[in-house]
Structure 1
Amino acid sequence: MIRRCPGFLAGVLFVVLAGHMQPVRAAPLDDAAERYRPYMIEGIGQALAGVRDLRARLAASDLAGARKAWLSARAGWERSEVFTAGFVPELDEQIDAWPNGVTGFHAIEAKLFGAKSTDAMSETDALVGHLDDLHKKLRDMPLTPQGLLDGTVRLTYEVGESKADGGESRISGTSLDDMRNNVAGIDFAYHTIFAASLRASDGKLADTADGKISDLKNLLVVRDLQHVDIPQLRRTTEELIVALQMAAQKLGLRRPTLEAASR
């Protein structure tokens, strides 16, 4: 808080400061969080483009095309989950409610892949509206390093605990791709926002985080979900969570928790 100066001196001080004021530089992590924004916009943009295409395929009663469009939209969304639950929880619930998916992606999935039906126009219209609303918010949405680290940790937890037992997209059979896209989102968020600052502070811990992310990616290079080493996947996600929680102190952030880790 700036202290008030009495009378004339206050006016002089204001003029002098205004004439020489320089923009305040954001902290390195704040700058890094801004570098994450274009990726966030791209991922939700892909999801939005996919559901718009899905709507067109449904109108043409094209089941195969609708399924393909759903999968494309899903990939963009899953890469973006580092930020969605923490920054836009209401929209996250409307877009990707699970396991009770009566709206959003999973309601449509049940019809396309379960019932083999293209009767999903009302759900798709709603999903287009929610994703469009989210996409419009992204350019001005305040991003905080703390919120993004929290989201990275919670998504890591979800990969190991909520999706490894059969996955989130069981009806479509795309849970392995969900996990791969989640890990791609974790990888990008960590290396864009936190990696350089952590390495400057604690190179050994940075090596640990790098190694665990690499291990996660390698564990998912398999033919199908049944070939994922689930116990090792869970251990690796737990180890990455611990590394990121330790990194928080080095980065001047609060220790992330697992609150709201699963919906």
Structure 2
Amino acid sequence: MSAVSATPLEDAAERYRPYMIESIGQALAGVRDLRERIAAKDLTGARKAWISARAGWERSEVFTAGFVPELDAQIDAWPNADSGFHAIEAKLFGTNRTDVEAETDALVDHLDSLHGKLRDMALTPQGLLDGTVRLAYEVGESKADGGESRISGTSLDDMRNNVAGIDFAYRTIFATALGAADARLAGLVEARIDRLTKIVAAPDLRRVDIPALRRTSEELVVALQSASAKLGLQSPTLEAATR
């Protein structure tokens, strides 16, 4: 898309690209460190590296499932964790094992492949809005019951990073345009994102207000679906909400 013909939303989507590259870069650095810790039979270090890699990945889920579905499945398949993060998690945290060389090598390769695609990947406002809505839905539905990283005990961190990713994507790409088109609706979206941020700031998963999390997630989804028309986009569906 040339600079001359790009719309304001397309320009805004481009401003999301450095964040996307940085977050996947963090995930890649984490799994490379994980591979080194595995080679050294350092279980504690391997667990720390896995958690660090997860943070970058979870902040990126606004775009991963919609733009790179095959790599998304290879990297973060769940609940059928035969590969990727969760296959490694099951051994590292579930059975205190470090014999995950093959799984870790594959994860490094997949994240490296994804990282290499990011500078040239076509980013569309529609695709990024779809991903934002679907991730908001996932936080309130499939993750609210305890999350996907139960074995490692990092499900709350997953949700926090998901919400941070939603917040950044909305404010970077859509907030200005929606504020100009419908300030009331923009305020509603921002209030729901802020509310989600507060809910997942609970000190541990047991103290997360799950009914409020579900309700606020649903309200954010509805608000963003309503915002789509104001932004000149199609209303996002939830068809790809779960993997």
TM-score range with shorter-chain normalisation? over 0.9
Q: Which residue, 66, 81, 84 being the options, matches 2:46?
A: 66
Cα distance between partner residues in 1 of 2:17 and 2:99: 35
Equivalent residue letter for 1:142: A
Structure 1 residues 257, 116: closer, same or farther in 2, change over 3 A?
A: same
Cα distance between partner residues in 2 of 1:23 and 1:126: 38
Confirm or deny that 1:245 pairs with 2:212.
no
Query: What do residues 132-160 of structure 1 show as CA deviations (whole Å, max 9, x unaligned)?
Result: 00000000000000000000000001000
Unaligned runs of 5+ in 2: none
The aligned counterpart of 1:40 is 20
Confirm or deny that 1:101 pairs with 2:81.
yes
Query: TM-score under structure 1 normalisation?
Result: 0.91
Q: Please give the secondary structure, in 2, of the residue aligned with 1:162.
A: coil
Unaligned runs of 5+ in 1: 1-21
Cα root mean square deviation, aligned: 0.9
Cα distance between partner residues in 2 of 1:34 and 1:104: 28
Q: Please give the secondary structure, in 2, of the residue aligned with 1:42.
A: helix
Per the TM alignment, residue 230 of structure 1 is displaced from its structure 2 partner at its CA by: 0.4
The aligned counterpart of 1:5 is none
Confirm or deny that 1:154 pairs with 2:96.
no
The aligned counterpart of 2:182 is 202
**Percent of residue pairs bearing the same amino acid type:** 76
The aligned counterpart of 2:59 is 79
The aligned counterpart of 1:125 is 105
The aligned counterpart of 1:3 is none
Q: Which residue, 220, 228, 231 being the options, matches 2:208?
A: 228
Per the TM alignment, residue 25 of structure 1 is displaced from its structure 2 partner at its CA by: 3.7
Q: Which residue, 90, 93, 96 being the options, matches 1:116?
A: 96
The aligned counterpart of 2:166 is 186
The aligned counterpart of 1:88 is 68
The aligned counterpart of 2:29 is 49
* Structure (1 or 2) with the larger CA radius of gyration: 1
In the TM superposition, 1:160-179 aligns within 5 A as 160-179=140-159
In the TM superposition, 1:206-221 aligns within 5 A as 206-221=186-201
Q: Which runs of 4+ in 1 moved over 3 A?
A: none
Cα distance between partner residues in 2 of 1:68 and 1:139: 28
Structure 1 residues 121, 23: closer, same or farther in 2, change over 3 A?
A: closer
